[in-house]
Chain A
């Protein structure tokens, strides 16, 4: 009896300690967000690095107005860029993953590994001839060329995620469809695609975020006037005489779409990781 109560006390201490640590890290992780938020509501004189941690003396929305005016055109462009490229690369990735896991051919593993390597290459290693190639293809700078690049360089990870995801679909289902005389596309349409929703959620979250947040391609393939939101934000925040309130408001505006995606769908993302669909 005595040792039992001792054990519960110990467990209670452990649990309290655990929550204390967890909450401590919540505060640490949220600190930068706090600074972003309060600074975005400060006036010009108040928005000074030495006063970073204090609440605004007067809550003002001038920064938000200026940030919105500067970013608004680029936000529309970014949606136009991100949604189609995420959908196309996800769909192609789904087809690839299906073939590579359920319709294997000799050398399928080598082809898969070669595709996968495309996910790890530093894009710096292809950038110089890539600028040449894109201009030779006659694709306009800005959104059109960025769309092509996000689709192409998104293919490896989409293929990987779907291939791992489809590995958990029983082969018997495919066999049964084949027995019924369904071809490769019919089998995809009637067996694979209907069970693909969790895979699509993970891939679309991933592609949406990475295209929305991309800066490297955007810097090489667009200028301020036709660039996506990261470019517009870097102009807003990068000048010599930066309006801090506006740039912090801008950073928040630019983060809203991906934040919403994570808050609404983050559960599925972690779920997808857990079911082994993203092994990295």
Chain B
């Protein structure tokens, strides 16, 4: 026993700083945050009276918050769908060694390197539904104008200025930015499939479609799962892109819990801000904890 402790003791010691830092900055702060969310700390003046789950019930009954949850759902579905479709398509097109592969890959990947704050500057313009009257009949702006000029005028819309579906417009730049990352993940997945496997399937007389259906797609499903988890949890946290595109943080049309939390924080409503944080955490945990358990179990096998 002592001998074993001697072999793993130094390891634990080396890990100690990280364990302490993560323990304090992640787990202890989550507990602290939970505690604040149970108090009536709604102004800058310190106040620690426990009110139980009152803040949660009030939030969940608040139509504004309900709307922010709806927005979050739409955002996540569109963001996930879009990045998976484009990411997979690009990876599939580039899967077989192609001329200029490096160029295409770099172009598709480059938006990922840019901050949401920087890309928000231009997307705020492109997604503008502004109608200006200018000499020469140039009324529409941004993407609407482009769609109009290539004959897709029917696709013009108000983008984010719509209370029900406006949030889907916010997903457009998010898709633009992260499809390349999903492509890189899928490319890694494709390249991880041994050539012998394909050869064997071809020799067995597999058609290309059957090869994909029975050999390649099943091999890609772990990559797909990773992509869903990464994009999904990014979507729940998405804050800066909305702040960059929509000038007013408290805009009902595109309010999500993360932006609402910021508004509450600015207004010194710490208890509500903490409660919104907890709700986001629960939403993330529902998805991530089973995933972490699944991957750690899959590794053992």
User: Contacts A212-B115, A215-B240, A230-B115 hold; do A124 and B141 have CB atoms under 8 A apart?
Assistant: no
User: Contacts A121-B30, A125-B281, A133-B29 hold; do A92 and B116 have CB atoms under 8 A apart?
Assistant: no
Nearest CB of A to B176, in Å? 7
Q: Complex Cα distance A251/B104, Å?
A: 23
Residue of B nearest to A96 (CB): B18
Q: Does B98 contact A (CB under 8 A)?
A: yes
Interface 9-mer from B5-13, B61-69, B163-171: B5-13
Task: Please give, as numbers and ranges, the residues of chain B lying within 8 Å of A213 by CB-CB distance.
Answer: 114-118
Nearest CB of A to B193, in Å? 12
Q: Complex Cα distance A156/B300, Å?
A: 20
Q: Does B142 contact A (CB under 8 A)?
A: yes
Interface residues on B, range: 35 or more
Q: Is the beta-carbon distance between B90 and A155 smaller than 8 angstroms? A: no
Nearest CB of A to B277, in Å? 4
Q: Is the beta-carbon distance between B141 and A29 smaller than 8 angstroms? A: no
- A122 CB contact (under 8 Å) in B18, B19, B109, B284: B284
- B117 CB contact (under 8 Å) in A52, A185, A234: A234
Q: Is the beta-carbon distance between B130 and A49 smaller than 8 angstroms? A: yes
User: Contacts A50-B140, A128-B274, A153-B25 hold; do A280 and B226 have CB atoms under 8 A apart?
Assistant: yes
Interface of B is mostly: helix
Nearest CB of B to A141, in Å? 15
Q: Is the beta-carbon distance between A276 and B188 smaller than 8 angstroms? A: yes
Q: Is the beta-carbon distance between B146 and A130 smaller than 8 angstroms? A: no
Question: What number of A-B contacts does a CB cutoff of 8 Å give?
Answer: 294
Contact residues, A81-97 vs B (CB, 8 A): 92, 95-96
Contact residues, A19-64 vs B (CB, 8 A): 19, 21-22, 25-26, 29-33, 35-36, 39, 48-53
Task: Please give, as numbers and ranges, the residues of chain A lying within 8 Å of B15 by CB-CB distance.
Answer: 95-96, 99-100, 111
Q: Is the beta-carbon distance between A155 and B22 smaller than 8 angstroms? A: yes
Q: Does A138 contact B (CB under 8 A)?
A: no
Contact residues, B242-291 vs A (CB, 8 A): 243-244, 247, 257-258, 261-262, 265, 270, 273-274, 276-278, 280-281, 284, 288-289
Contact residues, A199-242 vs B (CB, 8 A): 209, 212-216, 219-220, 230, 233-234, 237-238, 240
Task: Please give, as numbers and ranges, the residues of chain A lying within 8 Å of B276 by CB-CB distance.
Answer: 124
Task: Please give, as numbers and ranges, the residues of chain A lying within 8 Å of B17 by CB-CB distance.
Answer: 92
Q: Does A194 contact B (CB under 8 A)?
A: no
Residue of A nearest to B288 (CB): A120
Contact residues, B1-54 vs A (CB, 8 A): 8, 10-12, 14-15, 17-19, 21-22, 24-27, 29-30, 32-33, 36
Interfacial residues, chain A to chain B (CB-CB below 8 A): 18-19, 21-22, 25-26, 29-33, 35-36, 39, 48-53, 92, 95-96, 99-100, 103-106, 108-109, 111-118, 120-130, 132-133, 152-153, 155-156, 159, 183-185, 209, 212-216, 219-220, 230, 233-234, 237-238, 240, 244, 247-248, 250-252, 254-255, 258-259, 261-263, 266-267, 269-270, 273-274, 276, 279-280
The 28 listed contacts between A and B (C-beta, < 8 Å) are: A22-B104, A31-B146, A36-B121, A36-B122, A49-B141, A50-B134, A50-B139, A53-B145, A95-B14, A96-B14, A103-B10, A115-B18, A117-B289, A121-B30, A124-B273, A126-B26, A128-B36, A128-B270, A155-B22, A234-B243, A234-B244, A237-B120, A251-B118, A258-B114, A259-B114, A262-B106, A266-B110, A273-B184
Q: A26-B104, A32-B111, A254-B118 are in contact. List 15 more A-B contacts (CB 8 A).
A: A21-B89, A35-B122, A96-B15, A105-B8, A109-B299, A118-B22, A128-B36, A216-B240, A219-B243, A220-B265, A250-B118, A261-B113, A262-B109, A274-B192, A280-B226
